Amino acid sequence: MGHALHRLPALAGRALSEPAPSRPADVRVGSATDGLTPISMAERQMGATWAGWASLAAVALSALFADQLTKAIVTSRLDLYDQAHVIGPFSIHHVSNSGIAFGLFSSATPIVILLTSLAVAWMLSFFARSGSRHPILPVALGLVIGGSVSNLADRIRLGHVTDFLDFRYWPAFNLADSFIVIGVGILLAALVLADRG
């Protein structure tokens, strides 16, 4: 017993001087060495898919066709500045507009053409990078692009666009203007809902 007690200080000194036996690090698969930081994760593809591009094109072409068709009907049935009363304050009023939506910037056609072209190019670039971010994007951007391209084509071809939807207390507009406003509204609503979520 005394001999064992005599050896305790020596054993304790040896235990302190020798390094503890190494154990394998506790590292989880898919994590950093601290076991907390992920080193890899599945990334969701945000770029537009072929289906997204097809949806965008279908909506944009439909908006462009509807706008061009209604303008053609109005110009063939009503002379410039003529109008046909429909109901209440609403009438079909054939007017021309060299500006943007609702008659704004009517004296700056070249600038409007340039800005519209840049806006359409930016929207296409944005959709290419983020088309899969939200399922509503093809519809919203399709409406905005279709309306913008339809009015842009008229400005380049004719120097003005045809407006005909007149509610008396608001500048006359056309379907393209409506599609642009609706598309922007859908985008804003989607952003608000996503933020709340």
**151 and 177 in contact (C-beta within 8 Å)?**
yes
Among this protein's residues, is 34 annotated catalytic? no
Instruction: Name the active-site residue from 67, 154, 166, 177.
Output: 177
Among this protein's residues, is 163 annotated catalytic? yes
**C-alpha dist (Å) from residue 137 to 33, 123, 188:** 40, 11, 11
**46 and 54 in contact (C-beta within 8 Å)?**
no
Dump the DSSP string for 99-140. SSGGGTTTT-HHHHHHHHHHHHHHHHHHHHHHTTS-TTHHHH
Instruction: Name the active-site residue from 26, 163, 166, 195.
Output: 163
Residue 98 phi/psi, 5° resolution? -95, 0
The residues annotated as belonging to the active site are 163, 177
